[in-house]
C-alpha cells in the first residue's frame, strides 16, 4: 500500500503472488499478480500463471463482505466472481478457533491420486448429461449458458444416449 509498482512479467511467480492495495472510500481494494498456476476450485477449474486477482473488502457495521474477481485469459472466458460475507464474532473468552478434522475427498483412493485425461479422451465427459438427459453443451456450462438466449440454442441440441449404469455405485 506504499505505491510501489508490480514487478515485470518475468519476475518470479509465487503462491501468494504480488499484491498492492489502496483505499477507495471505505473499500480496501487489493490487486494481485504473479501468481503460480494452480486451481480456482478444487474440483478442477485450473488457473494459469497469467491470472490476476482483484479483491474488495467492504465493512458494513459488524459484517465484512469479501468480493474476489479472478481474471485468467488462458482458462476463463470471463471473470470468475466469488463473494463471502463474514459476521463479527464477539467472544468473551477470545477463542476464535474450532476443531477441524481431515476428511478424504475420494474415499478409498490415495491422497496423491489426481485423475487426468488427454484432451478429447475423458470417458466421463458425457456421463452427467446422459444420466439427466440434458444436452452436453448445457452440462459443461460456460458463460453463454447463463443467459436467457441459451434456451433457444438448447432447442436444437439433443442429449447423449442415456448412460448405461454399471455395477458401480453412482
pLDDT at 51 over 50: yes
In a domain, 106, yes or no: no
The pLDDT tens digits for 80-130 are 999 999 988 776 565 556 655 555 566 777 777 777 788 888 888 888 899
- Quick check: 46 and 40 in contact, CB under 8 A? yes
Q: How far is residue 75's CA from residue 45's CA, in Å, rounded to a whole number?
A: 8
Q: How far is residue 89's CA from residue 128's CA, in Å, rounded to a whole number?
A: 41
In a domain, 95, yes or no: no
User: Mean pLDDT throughout 4-33?
Assistant: 94
Final residue of a structural domain among 87, 106, 138: 87
Q: How confident is the model at residue 141 (pLDDT cuts 50, 70, 90)?
A: confident
User: Mean pLDDT throughout 129-138?
Assistant: 90
User: Mean pLDDT throughout 138-162?
Assistant: 86
In a domain, 143, yes or no: yes
Output the pLDDT for position 70. 95
Secondary structure of residue 136 in the 3-state scheme: helix
In a domain, 127, yes or no: yes
In a domain, 74, yes or no: yes
Output the pLDDT for position 94. 55
Q: C-alpha cell of 132? A: 439427466
Final residue of a structural domain among 62, 87, 112: 87
- Quick check: 85 and 60 in contact, CB under 8 A? no
Asked whether residue 74 falls in the same domain as residue 25, the answer is yes
pLDDT at 36 over 70: yes
Asked whether residue 78 falls in the same domain as residue 127, the answer is no
Taking the alpha carbons of 150, 41, 71, 118 in that order, is the dihedral positive or negative? Answer: negative
Q: C-alpha cell of 163? A: 448412460
Element (H, E) at 117: none
Kindly give, in sequence order, each residue whose CB lies less than 8 Å from that of residue 157, ignoring residues fewer than 6 positions away.
135, 136, 137, 138
For 154-169, letters b (16+ CB in 10 Å) and e give eeeeebbeebeeeeee
pLDDT at 170 over 50: no
Average pLDDT, the chain: 84
In a domain, 96, yes or no: no
Q: How far is residue 21's CA from residue 30's CA, in Å, rounded to a whole number?
A: 4
Q: How confident is the model at residue 169 (pLDDT cuts 50, 70, 90)?
A: very low
Final residue of a structural domain among 87, 107, 142: 87
In a domain, 65, yes or no: yes
User: Global pTM?
Assistant: 0.60
Strand partners, 29: 22, 56
Asked whether residue 127 falls in the same domain as residue 82, the answer is no
Give the count of domains, the chain: 2
Asked whether residue 82 falls in the same domain as residue 131, the answer is no
In a domain, 155, yes or no: yes
Quote the domain boundaries for residue 63. Answer: 18-87
Amino acid at each position: 500500500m506504499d505505491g510501489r509498482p508490480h514487478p515485470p512479467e518475468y519476475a518470479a511467480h509465487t503462491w501468494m503472488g504480488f499484491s498492492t492495495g489502496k483505499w477507495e472510500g471505505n473499500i480496501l481494494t487489493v490487486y494481485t499478480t504473479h501468481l503460480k498456476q494452480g486451481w480456482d476450485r478444487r474440483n478442477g477449474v485450473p488457473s494459469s500463471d497469467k491470472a490476476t486477482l482483484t479483491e474488495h473488502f467492504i465493512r458494513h457495521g459488524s459484517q465484512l463482505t469479501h468480493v474476489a474477481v479472478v481474471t485468467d485469459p488462458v482458462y476463463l472466458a470471463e471473470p470468475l466472481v466469488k463473494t463471502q460475507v463474514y459476521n463479527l464474532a464477539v467472544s468473551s473468552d477470545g477463542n476464535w478457533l474450532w476443531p477441524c478434522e481431515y476428511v478424504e475427498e475420494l474415499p478409498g483412493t490415495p491422497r496423491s491420486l489426481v485423475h487426468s485425461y488427454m484432451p478429447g479422451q475423458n470417458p466421463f465427459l458425457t456421463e452427467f448429461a446422459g444420466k439427466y438427459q440434458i444436452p452436453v453443451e448445457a452440462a459443461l456450462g460456460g458463460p453463454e449458458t447463463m443467459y436467457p438466449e441459451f434456451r433457444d440454442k438448447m432447442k436444437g441440441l439433443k442429449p447423449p444416449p442415456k448412460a448405461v449404469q454399471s455395477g458401480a455405485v453412482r
